[in-house]
Structure 1
Amino acid sequence: MRKYTNILVIAEPKKDVQIALKRALDIAKFNPKATITYLRVVYDFSYDLLILNKVKEKPIHEDIEQTHIDHLNQIIEEYRAQENSEATIVPKVVENRDVGEAVIDEMRAGNYDLIIKAANRHGLLDSIIFTPIDWFILRHAEIPVIIAKNNDWQTGGNIAVCVDFTLNDHLQSNVAMLREAQVLAKTTGSRIHLINSAPVYMPTVMLEVPHYSPDLYEQGVLEEHKSRMYEFADKHHIDREYCHIEEGMPDDVIPSICEQINAKAVLIGSAGRSGFAAALIGNTCEEIVDDIDADLFVLNRKAIKLEKEKEKNRE
């Protein structure tokens, strides 16, 4: 089973604690061969003043880049000392006005197998007016993304995998997330739990049917979800005692169960919506990112599709 060997970490220049770098070092403890690229995206508005002066432009660009590289190296040495780590960390600076776009470009240019970014809190208006950096990365990344929270990773603990059986397309996503969870569980010695929500959409017209019982309908929906989850768990050798299902919407059920089991990492799929549809509908992984006190490990459809193609090529 593969390990994460080439990790892209996004630097957070305005934050005192570099959560993403710390998490990458946590993972590197379990894989000494891992290489961490510590990426800083910069844009100095003095660049705009140099457009007409090509002679001065290159030296100033190089000077600004070296200043940021020196700062990254200071942070790297500080965290190496804190974590007592000898991991390979490569500082990198790229110029771009758009951090999200720069991260995706770097991901495509390098042979990375994991992106780590610290969680940012954002309000309702952010989702309607513009797409925050972490939302953009979740939607466009072609590899797994960890949105890291400020908590300690320890050997053992619980990993939650959020499964969905409502559409056939989601079955591939369930398997892909479980595979990633198995990599993480083997790496950290953790236990895998499955989480599923059973939303009950009761047609209004059914309330007019004589002798119709809403309670029986809700129970039937819950039993159907349990049946599918247990079948999936049995197939992949996961004990039923680690299967959790509750009636309700995913953005309510998932945070509640994660709190109950004290999950340290939560794996969830993303539909990868963008534009106006994303503002109105949203993605579950984006709706719960602030409600879970655990790292959010996200696989979108692009990442799942590419991983499946890689598996076929390996065969």
Structure 2
Amino acid sequence: MTCVKKILAVLDADRQQQKALNRALHLARISGAHVTFMISIYDFSYEMTTMLAADERNTMRDSLINDRNVWINDLLEDYNTRDINFDVKVLWHNRPFEAIIETAMEGDYDIIVKATHEREGLAALLFTPTDWHLLRKAPCKVLLVKEHDWPEHGKILAAIHTTGEHDHHRSLNRQVTEAAINFASCLQSEVHLVNAFPGAPITIAAEIPEFDTSNYRETIEENHKIALAEHAMPYHIPPTQQHVLEGLPEQVIPELADELDAELVVLGTIGRTGFSAALLGNTAEHVIESINCDLLAVKPEGFVSPIKL
């Protein structure tokens, strides 16, 4: 089974270690996919050089783009690209995430591969980084790469939301599971499913003394186990690889991924916009900051990127 056919790998212009490049080559080698290695560059000072004519500014800009093309090709000489079908793309764009998304749409790519890095301080909360934009707005799967290796016979953890009553929840569950199975087939790994369920509200015991929180928890847990088992049945995922755990998804998923030493976490992500998106983020964004392995974000069926070509 083929994982992907076209990979868009986003390189780090200012880092020596190219995690996305390594991962894209690994994925291309096992899937036979074509890879585009891309980078987006921009220098505001060139646009503001009013003493130069427009054609002179364009010439300077083209020179920078050519330099980066040479840099990428020199970089690739240090990697084993034998039998890999690839090309190189350098774009001049003042918003890197838009350059990535526009390229993904134009080329009809199956997946975007990008390294993600730890961020510190208030800036991480207030200013949405490129990978957050990709999680919300990219038209295809997004693989955010961390340090964890991809060993054969590893484990892939797919996060499932079993309580969704709407068709789009069930559809996203199917897409997440199928993506996990496709990657497991390529990586010779086994798929585990995880479903988080909420505990009884803390205040309910105080407000309703006769409320049996223990029975409530057992009932909720059993309902989730039944729902997860029903979801797993068509995919022949055994009960030993089905995990129903109490807690918030952004807590449960990283803890189980660490316990399993998972190489990849797969989950669904739904685009968000506006001020709430900039401050809060969704489950995928919280999870990627807490796990030590790669995250594959899957969009809902029929998702249309808000970025226009």
Structure 2 distance, partners of 1:209, 1:199, is 18
CA contact (8 A) 1:160 1:193 kept: yes
Structure 1 distance, partners of 2:153, 2:3, is 17
Structure 1 distance, partners of 2:141, 2:95, is 21
TM-score, structure 1 normalization: 0.89
Structure 2 distance, partners of 1:138, 1:124, is 21
Structure 2 distance, partners of 1:234, 1:8, is 33
Alignment of 1:112-261 (within 5 A): 112-123=109-120, 125-126=122-123, 128-167=125-164, 168=166, 169-202=168-201, 204=203, 207-209=206-208, 211-261=210-260
Alignment coverage as a number of residue pairs: 301
CA contact (8 A) 1:164 1:170 kept: yes
Query: How far 1:124 sits from its partner (Å)?
Result: 6.3
Seen in structure 2, the aligned counterparts of structure 1 residues 111 and 271 have a Cα distance that, compared at 3 Å, is: closer
Q: Unmatched 5+ residue regions in structure 1?
A: 308-315
Structure 2 distance, partners of 1:198, 1:112, is 35
CA contact (8 A) 1:163 1:268 kept: yes
Structure 1 distance, partners of 2:130, 2:264, is 21
The residue that corresponds to 1:87 in the other structure is 84
3-state secondary structure, aligned to 1:79: coil
Structure 2 distance, partners of 1:11, 1:287, is 23
Higher share in helix: 1
* Correspondence 1:110 to 2:107: yes
3-state secondary structure, aligned to 2:79: helix
Structure 1 distance, partners of 2:221, 2:79, is 47
Alignment of 1:61-72 (within 5 A): 61-72=61-72
Q: Judge which range, 2-11 or 133-142, deviates more.
A: 2-11
CA contact (8 A) 1:51 1:57 kept: no
CA contact (8 A) 2:49 2:57 kept: no
Q: Unmatched 5+ residue regions in structure 2?
A: 305-309
The residue that corresponds to 2:298 in the other structure is 299
* Correspondence 1:26 to 2:26: yes
Structure 2 distance, partners of 1:187, 1:256, is 25
TM-score, structure 2 normalization: 0.91
Query: How far 1:174 sits from its partner (Å)?
Result: 0.7
Structure 2 distance, partners of 1:125, 1:261, is 32
Seen in structure 2, the aligned counterparts of structure 1 residues 209 and 290 have a Cα distance that, compared at 3 Å, is: closer
The residue that corresponds to 2:262 in the other structure is 263
Seen in structure 2, the aligned counterparts of structure 1 residues 124 and 251 have a Cα distance that, compared at 3 Å, is: farther
Structure 2 distance, partners of 1:284, 1:51, is 48
Structure 1 distance, partners of 2:269, 2:278, is 14
CA contact (8 A) 1:138 1:270 kept: yes
Task: Name the % identity.
Answer: 30
Query: How far 1:205 sits from its partner (Å)?
Result: 5.1
